[in-house]
Structure 1
Amino acid sequence: MTYVKVCPLADVPADGALGVEVDGTPVAIARAGDDVFALSDICSHAEVSLSEGEIYNGTIECWLHGSCFDLRTGKPTNPPATQAVATYKVKVEDGDVYVSLGTDD
């Protein structure tokens, strides 16, 4: 699995998100407490940036219509979204965040 360095962890707001691009793919890097997640930065309902939304209770909320997505699975936890967003492997090493878009091991 190939990981790409996307940003310093310090750039990701505590209990917030940062939008980045990985090989042309928009990715939201989200922090919830000490955990870091990577998921598609495009809402499956309205195609707006999820990284501009709020993080709470293990979800990221789309700022436009209020759909929330589970940070671990990408599944919507409330309407109007019905389709999950992609999630990606993420790791933090030496203060930097790395993301893998691949599904191979």
Structure 2
Amino acid sequence: MLFVCKLDDLEPGEAIKVDSVKPPIAVIRGESGEVYAIDDTCSHAEASFCDGFVEGDTVECPLHMSVFCLKTGEPENPPATKGVGTHIVSIRDGDIYIEVQR
């Protein structure tokens, strides 16, 4: 398990990049408050999801507006057609941890 940050430091709608692993991972708090971890790079144009727009439990790529489900990593609209990896998130004592799934 890899420590990311305190839960209170990640507001709903915000993201933080974990670049201590390759490829980097975006840890994103959806508008519902749930925390997700997905590969940070869009499968279509290699943009960072940390620069994207979070709505509900999705994130929109900042370059071409493909929307990805934070739960599954799958795109919901073109131009992206390929999903991105997801990772296990745990919250313990107010801390966010991820388990990298490769």
Q: Does the alignment reach a TM-score above 0.5?
A: yes
Letter in structure 2 aligned against 1:18? I
Q: 4+ runs of 1 displaced by more than 4 Å?
A: none
Please name the residue that 2:68 is paired with: 69
Secondary structure class of the residue paired with 2:8: helix
Ranges in structure 2 where 5+ consecutive residues have no aligned partner: none
1:21 positional shift: 2.2
66-75 or 9-18: bigger deviation: 9-18
CA distance in 2, matches of 1:26, 1:7: 15
Please name the residue that 2:94 is paired with: 95
Ranges in structure 1 where 5+ consecutive residues have no aligned partner: none
Q: How many residues align?
A: 101
Identical positions, percent: 42
Secondary structure class of the residue paired with 1:39: strand
User: Could you say what the CA RMSD is over the residues aligned between the two structures, in angstroms?
Assistant: 1.4
1:22 positional shift: 4.3
Letter in structure 2 aligned against 1:21? D
CA distance in 1, matches of 2:56, 2:7: 21
Q: TM-score, normalised by structure 1?
A: 0.87
Please name the residue that 2:7 is paired with: 9
Secondary structure class of the residue paired with 1:29: strand
29-38 or 76-85: bigger deviation: 29-38
CA distance in 1, matches of 2:97, 2:44: 27
Q: TM-score, normalised by structure 2?
A: 0.90
More strand by share: 1
